């Protein structure tokens, strides 16, 4: 478990319960599937989304019988999307380790992702309310639509900041948003507070993804613990590219004619993006969402978990990029 949770022992103890519940519900006759999922659970993920469920619950009655299963569902849903993402993107690394599809092949990875989705619904059916089931189902729909939009936009010259923001709102911000919201709503928090937490999660998730996309241009495999520039190699144009392309389309004319990119092409694109202020403008956009996130946190009622949420948001968003 990430050492950040040593600073928050109550959250750390509840996260241990979340992990134990995930392990319980992912037991399988096929030990290859079970062990693959155990490896994923223990691969060093930050457990941010389940932590946000737990923190959200503290703005309500903090009922662990509700918050812990909800947190487990959110993390397993996240894991399932990562497994499927890696298949689609042909990613070799995830959290600094080989992806499931790299180790076992794409077909097996798809089944493991599907099995994780099934486990989510088993937990929901046993522990959660119908409202939580409806919210999670809607969230899955929005996440899938965001992923499909990304797939459809590969190598597309119809680049739009608005389309990009809509895409990441579904594929990334949605889970941050419902994590905080469900944690609060399932534990009977005030409706106004639950909505505020939902907006905080949205803005945090948007900033998180924009920063992640910036790091794809500035980082490397070792620093970001996954395949650097992988989006570019797959023809997925994120916000640094979109801004730079909008600023100087002519600089990309030769590159945009290609159907796939070599490592040399990727290095050239990164240089063009930097020269045309793509990274600089993307950082400005991230900062706008960061500001909205912290304004929302400041509006929350006073309790010790308001401070915890603020500190975690700072740790997540105010990172080197």
In this structure, are 184 and 82 located in the same domain?
Answer: no
In this structure, are 279 and 207 located in the same domain?
Answer: yes
Q: pTM of the entire structure?
A: 0.88
Average pLDDT, stretch 3-15?
Answer: 94
Q: What angle, rounded to 10 degrees, do the helices at 239-247 and 278-299 form?
A: 130
**Position 1 in a domain:** no
241 pLDDT more than 70: yes
Q: State residue 256's pLDDT score.
A: 80
Q: For a pLDDT cut of 90, what percent of the chain falls above it?
A: 52
The model's confidence at residue 129, banded by pLDDT at 50, 70 and 90, is low
Q: For a pLDDT cut of 70, what percent of the chain falls above it?
A: 91
**Position 136 in a domain:** no
Helix (H, G, I), strand (E, B) or coil at 97: strand
Q: How many CB atoms lie within 10 A of CB 102?
A: 17
Structure tokens at 26: 């992912």
Q: State residue 319's pLDDT score.
A: 59
The model's confidence at residue 216, banded by pLDDT at 50, 70 and 90, is confident
In this structure, are 152 and 121 located in the same domain?
Answer: no
The model's confidence at residue 230, banded by pLDDT at 50, 70 and 90, is confident
| CA distance to 25, 37, 68, 97, per residue, from 232 (Å) | 36, 28, 37, 21
In this structure, are 164 and 221 located in the same domain?
Answer: yes
User: Rounded CA gap, 38 and 45, in Å?
Assistant: 12
| CA distance to 27, 292, 299, per residue, from 207 (Å) | 35, 10, 19
Provide the mean pLDDT of the chain: 87
**Position 90 in a domain:** yes
90 pLDDT more than 80: no
Q: What angle, rounded to 10 degrees, do the helices at 304-317 and 191-218 form?
A: 20
In this structure, are 168 and 311 located in the same domain?
Answer: yes
**Position 167 in a domain:** yes
**Position 4 in a domain:** no
Average pLDDT, stretch 60-65?
Answer: 93
The last residue of one of the domains, among 94, 128, 162, is: 128
**Cβ contact 70:186 at 8 Å:** yes
What per-residue string of b and e applies to 73-92 under the rule 16 or more CB within 10 Å gives b?
bbbbbbbbbbbbbbbbbebb
Q: How many CB atoms lie within 10 A of CB 26?
A: 23
In this structure, are 240 and 175 located in the same domain?
Answer: yes
In this structure, are 229 and 153 located in the same domain?
Answer: yes
Q: State residue 226's pLDDT score.
A: 45
- Looking at the structure of the chain, the number of domains it has is 2
**Cβ contact 163:153 at 8 Å:** yes
Q: Domain limits at 185?
A: 141-321
Q: How many CB atoms lie within 10 A of CB 267?
A: 13
In this structure, are 149 and 112 located in the same domain?
Answer: no
**Position 249 in a domain:** yes
**Cβ contact 308:11 at 8 Å:** yes
Q: What's 69's domain CATH number?
A: 1.10.600.10
DSSP state of 301: P
178 pLDDT more than 70: yes
The last residue of one of the domains, among 88, 107, 128, is: 128
């Amino acid at each position: 478990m990430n050492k950040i949770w040593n600073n928050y022992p109550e959250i750390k103890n509840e996260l241990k319960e979340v992990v134990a519940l995930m392990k319980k519900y992912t037991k399988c006759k096929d030990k290859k599937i079970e062990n693959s999922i155990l490896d994923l659970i223990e691969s060093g993920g930050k457990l941010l989304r389940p932590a946000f469920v737990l923190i959200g619950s503290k703005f309500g009655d903090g009922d662990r019988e509700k918050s812990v299963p909800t947190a487990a569902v959110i993390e397993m849903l996240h894991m399932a999307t990562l497994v499927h993402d890696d298949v689609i993107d042909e990613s070799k690394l995830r959290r600094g380790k080989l992806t499931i599809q790299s180790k076992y092949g794409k077909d097996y990875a798809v089944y493991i992702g599907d099995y994780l989705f099934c486990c989510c619904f088993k937990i929901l059916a046993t522990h959660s309310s119908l409202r939580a089931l409806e919210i999670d189902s809607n969230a899955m729909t929005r996440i899938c639509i965001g992923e499909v939009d990304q797939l459809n936009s590969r190598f597309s010259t119809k680049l739009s900041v608005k389309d990009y923001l809509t895409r990441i709102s579904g594929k990334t911000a949605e889970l941050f948003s419902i994590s905080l919201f469900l944690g609060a709503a399932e534990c009977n928090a005030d409706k106004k507070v639950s909505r505020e937490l939902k907006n905080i999660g949205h803005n945090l998730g948007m900033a998180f993804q924009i920063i992640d996309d910036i790091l794809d241009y500035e980082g490397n495999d070792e620093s970001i613990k996954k395949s650097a520039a992988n989006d570019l190699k797959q023809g997925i144009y994120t916000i640094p590219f979109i801004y730079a392309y909008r600023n100087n389309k002519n600089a990309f004319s030769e590159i945009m004619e290609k159907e796939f990119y070599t490592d040399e092409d990727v290095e050239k694109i990164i240089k063009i993006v930097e020269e045309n202020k793509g990274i600089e403008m993307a950082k400005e956009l991230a900062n706008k969402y960061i500001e909205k996130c912290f304004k929302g946190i400041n509006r929350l009622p006073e309790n010790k978990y308001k401070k915890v949420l603020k500190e975690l948001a700072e740790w997540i968003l105010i990172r080197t990029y």
